[in-house]
Amino acid sequence: MVYKRPLKCLRIVMANLVTVFVVMGIIVSGFRIGADGLNMNYYLFSCPFVESIVKDIVNRALEDDPSLAAPLLRMHFHDCFIQGCDGSILIDSTKGNKAEKDSPANLSLRGYEIIDDIKEELERQCPGVVSCADILALAARDAVFFAGGPVYDIPKGRKDGTRSKIEDTINLPSPNFNASDLIKMFAQHGFSAQEMVALSGAHTIGVARCSSFKNRLTKVDPNLNSEFAKTLSRTCSAMPYLKQIYDLFLNSTLFHQDWYRLFGYLAYVGYASLKNPYGQNPWSLGKNPIEEKEYINHA
């Protein structure tokens, strides 16, 4: 369901679009952000309580609905992968422009109301100071921590962009991509294969929609582990189509801290895929990638 309430965060007239390019440098949150103008104490004097305000509102929202943690993180990723972390995912479409948020890839995004509530409170406390892009980055970080993940510092000072076009979302990674496709797309943004695995691979929180992989179940992909394929088929066929989701970890509201095991597994998958253009699943080879130290070292 698309969030229809007009966002206070970005009420921008789209008549004169300005393209904002945010140069990205790697940070713990997994997105590249330019060093120029960004620092940990950016709001030290102008809005000293910004982080506590964001955290308080995020925590209250997630206490009511823990399932919103993953969508906040996903929204941040979808924002950053298109022209950098500039808040463009928050811009509404106008009569003359279809924005990113109305792309099919973004229609399932949730949590806009949380960002709006944060912006509303920050405007009361320190009007015109904190960017929506920073709010989104902080909210995603706090959502991860709420779900049991790590806490990390975020340099602040991102500027909000005014360009948001639906056609730009073609640059988002497709759920149908194999390892080679993902490596190529992430390389276009300056990421190495190792960074790609860390950013896109583990899916440590949230669920997957069955529609993203059902094409591999109708006629079972021979590269897919047969027992896993049966589990997926059974789960996805047991519910109405529009509600078909698969929870890999059986608790999608928790951030799974044993990421290093998944990291090694996915590094193995990526390595195997590069040697085999069909992306052969190592489980189908009779190997346990988590125990294969050779391939874990490739991570």
Q: Write the CATH number for 161.
A: 1.10.520.10
- Whether 165 and 184 share a structural domain: no
Residue 131 marked as a ligand binder? no
Whole-prediction pTM value? 0.69
Active site residue 189: no
Q: Is the pLDDT at 136 greater than 80, yes or no?
A: yes
Residue 59: the pLDDT is: 97
Number of other residues whose CB lies within 10 A of the CB of residue 249: 16
- Whether 129 and 236 share a structural domain: no
Amino acid at 191: F
The β-bridge partners of 32 are 26
pLDDT digits (tens, 9 = 90+) for 228-270: 788 878 877 776 544 444 444 444 445 544 444 544 444 444 4
Residue 279 marked as a ligand binder? no
Q: Is residue 44 part of a domain?
A: no
Angle between helices 112-125 and 132-146 (to 10 degrees): 120
Q: Is residue 14 part of a domain?
A: no
Tokens of residue 166, six digits? 């639906």
pLDDT digits (tens, 9 = 90+) for 216-226: 777 777 777 78
Q: Is the pLDDT at 162 greater than 50, yes or no?
A: yes
pLDDT range class, residue 289, cuts 50, 70, 90: very low
Comparing CA positions, the residue from 14, 33, 150, 34 lying closest to residue 94 is 14
Q: Which of 148, 170, 192 is the last residue of a domain?
A: 170
Q: Which of 135, 170, 205 is the last residue of a domain?
A: 170
- Whether 109 and 128 share a structural domain: yes
Q: Which residues of 72-101 are buried (b: 16+ CB within 10 A; e: fewer)?
A: bbbbbbbbbbbbbbbbbbbbbbeeebebbb
Residues 269-295: what's their mean pLDDT? Answer: 39
Q: Is the pLDDT at 282 greater than 90, yes or no?
A: no
Q: What percent of the chain has pLDDT over 90?
A: 38
Residue 79 marked as a ligand binder? yes
Q: Is the pLDDT at 97 greater than 70, yes or no?
A: yes
Distant-in-sequence, close-in-space partners of 102: CB < 8 Å, separation ≥ 6: 2, 93, 166
Q: Is residue 81 part of a domain?
A: yes
Comparing CA positions, the residue from 107, 88, 100 lying closest to residue 10 is 88
pLDDT range class, residue 173, cuts 50, 70, 90: confident
Which residues span the domain enclosing 274?
179-296
Q: Which of 170, 200, 215 is the last residue of a domain?
A: 170
Q: What percent of the chain has pLDDT over 70?
A: 65
Q: Is the pLDDT at 154 greater than 80, yes or no?
A: yes
Residue 235: the pLDDT is: 79
Residue 292 sits in a domain whose CATH number is 1.10.420
- Whether 152 and 187 share a structural domain: no
Least confident of 139-148, 218-227, 246-255, 277-286: 277-286
Residue 204 marked as a ligand binder? yes
- Whether 163 and 204 share a structural domain: no
Name which residue leads in pLDDT, 235 or 59: 59
Q: Which of 76, 78, 189, 256 is catalytic?
A: 78
Comparing CA positions, the residue from 206, 283, 212 lying closest to residue 250 is 206
Q: Is residue 237 part of a domain?
A: yes
Calpha distance 247→232 (Å, rounded): 10
Q: Is the pLDDT at 55 greater than 80, yes or no?
A: yes
pLDDT range class, residue 8, cuts 50, 70, 90: low
Q: How many domains does the chain have?
A: 2
- Whether 166 and 194 share a structural domain: no
Name which residue leads in pLDDT, 14 or 179: 179
- Whether 149 and 183 share a structural domain: no
